[in-house]
Chains A and B, each alone.
Chain A
Amino acid sequence: NAGVTQTPKFRVLKTGQSMTLLCAQDMNHEYMYWYRQDPGMGLRLIHYSVGEGTTAKGEVPDGYNVSRLKKQNFLLGLESAAPSQTSVYFCASSPIRFNEKLFFGSGTQLSVL
């Protein structure tokens, strides 16, 4: 069972570079989420999707864009990376109701120099 798969697991960027993080789930879940985790802080929601073709802003959306063209995939893009975006990024999904029974990916460690 693959569950929720994030790629890449690690990445180092220079300020101003762009990149896309991919999240894929094979459980046919409706809801998908992108979080960031920073030292000394709780997880914070960046963007989320309530179904294929939909996206919405979370708590800290600035500097990020997302797309959900296929139900199983949720992409997180950084157009012009900044050092403040150094963080661990987690993707999650849930099957039926928003923010219930969450399944998480293994995380992506991103460093922006």
Chain B
Amino acid sequence: KNEVEQSPQNLTAQEGEFITINCSYSVGISALHWLQQHPGGGIVSLFMLSSGKKKHGRLIATINIQEKHSSLHITASHPRDSAVYICAVKGSQGNLIFGKGTKLSVKP
């Protein structure tokens, strides 16, 4: 069983829809990252959080430490949000364990 599981693997949405991407993990962590990989391949760090909720523009990330679960929400989705979203957890040893990513496609 993978230590970091993302769901869904693929997601297609219509422009304007509210989107949720989930990340579950099975190890103890000190922090969790959400990353965005553009269609051209570049990777950008979106959030790092260890508790509660963070918001940046139309993106919201939440984490529930007890349930070992995090969600990334996108409000009012736009075609430019099309990307692969990657969850990564920072384990107790400091190492990062990456999920396989969720491929999001937002249609106009």
Contacts and interface: CB of A to CB of B under 8 A. Distances in A.
B27 interface: no
A41 B88 CA distance: 12
A43 B98 contact: yes
Contacts of B88: 42-43
Contacts of A75: none
B95 A90 contact: no
B42 A104 contact: yes
A54 to B, nearest CB: 15
Contacts of B4: 42
Interface string B63-99: 0000000000000000000000010101000111111
Interface string A73-112: 0000000000000001010100000111111101101000
Contact of B33 (A44, A59, A102, A107): A102
A43 B41 contact: no
B45 interface: yes
B98 A100 contact: no
Contact of A98 (B40, B45, B48, B94): B94
B96 to A, nearest CB: 5
A90 B96 CA distance: 14
Contact of B48 (A101, A104, A109): A101
